[in-house]
Amino acid sequence: MEAPKFVFLSLLLLVASTTRSSAALTRGFYNNVCPNVEQLVRSAVRQKFQQTFVTAPATLRLFFHDCFVRGCDASILIASPNGKAEKDHPDDISLAGDGFDTVIKAKAAVDTVTNCRNKVSCADILALATRDVINLAGGPFYDVELGRRDGRVSTIASVQRHLPHPEFNLDQLNSMFNFNGLSQTDMIALSGAHTIGFSHCNRFSKRIYNFSPRSRIDPTLNLQYAFQLRQMCPIKVDPRIAIDMDPVTPQKFDNQYFKNLQQGKGLFTSDQVLFTDARSKATVNLFASNEAAFQNAFVSAITKLGRVGVKTGNDGEIRIDCTRPN
């Protein structure tokens, strides 16, 4: 008689382990420990946002880069004395300091309240700060699931081949997002984050100067826009010069990004391909014509993104200092 009971127990444990990670994230996770955590984070983020708009795209990009490498565990924030952490990888080196600073300031604000001190993870603070910058920039307000724990490990090697590149085609984008449990629609909606923020000349100069032996300028690029980009990014210019990703409303979280794609004004190949590839074009057209459809899809996608590889329960830790493991 013991065998069936054992099998049943094993099945229960299996079910519990497979549902644990996202089930453990809940909206009111800190209600009993730090009930005003959202207001504390929002106030600190608003203050930082009022100082510089870069706060918005920098924090949003930080969240994305964190979740795609080792899951949403704030391992991107860990600093290494010998340059061997995630943030030191070439794919992360361009992350703006304002994103890191936003999380540090929000963490400090939370820790000024005695009952909240060292009770809220850096990973959850980053997730909340991301929602707040999106909303402050004119985007949607949405509920954030909480309960993430902070990772203890951050290595430069773990970034390799885990982040999308500007020259990716649709198959490469879909493959990378699918790996993280995100659909093509999620990927297109999250790409809409490029409606705010900036990039650097060296990330797209090939498209405007030496695209191919037959065509110096990428033929999918709007020619007038390409010449504007050449003016802003002359051949021998400092490669770190920043260019707005949305040339129309660069400081507003809206659906303009998708309208730009319709006109051949996607800054990266990985942006423009969403419109030139027939498999994704209809979604771009929908988001361009219907801002509510984009916002709903974005909220759904960023909520799913926030569940990627999370550490919960006894995994990880609550870091006292976001920049180093306890």
Instruction: Report whether 2 belongs to an annotated binding site.
Output: no
Cβ–Cβ under 8 Å, residues 112 and 96: no
Handedness of CA 242, 272, 193, 122 (dihedral sign): negative
* Structure tokens, 83: 């340059």
Strand partners, 150: 317
How far is residue 132's CA from residue 134's CA, in Å, rounded to a whole number? 5
By CB atoms closer than 10 A (0-12, 13-18, 19+), residue 194 is buried
Instruction: Report whether 164 belongs to an annotated binding site.
Output: yes
Amino acid at 54: V
Instruction: Report whether 246 belongs to an annotated binding site.
Output: yes
Q: Is 188 helix (H, G, I), strand (E, B) or coil?
A: helix
How far is residue 157's CA from residue 142's CA, in Å, rounded to a whole number? 34
Q: Tell me, what DSSP letter sits at residue 149?
A: B
Instruction: Report whether 89 belongs to an annotated binding site.
Output: no
Instruction: Report whether 37 belongs to an annotated binding site.
Output: no
How far is residue 294's CA from residue 301's CA, in Å, rounded to a whole number? 10
Nearest residue to 195 via CA among 274, 126, 129: 274
How far is residue 87's CA from residue 94's CA, in Å, rounded to a whole number? 9
65 is catalytic: yes
Instruction: Report whether 98 belongs to an annotated binding site.
Output: no
* Structure tokens, 309: 């590889």
Name the active-site residue from 65, 89, 162, 165.
65
Instruction: Report whether 71 belongs to an annotated binding site.
Output: yes
Residues known to be catalytic? 65
Binding site feature residues for Ca(2+): 66, 69, 71, 73, 75, 86, 195, 246, 249, 254
Binding site feature residues: 66, 69, 71, 73, 75, 86, 164, 194-195, 246, 249, 254
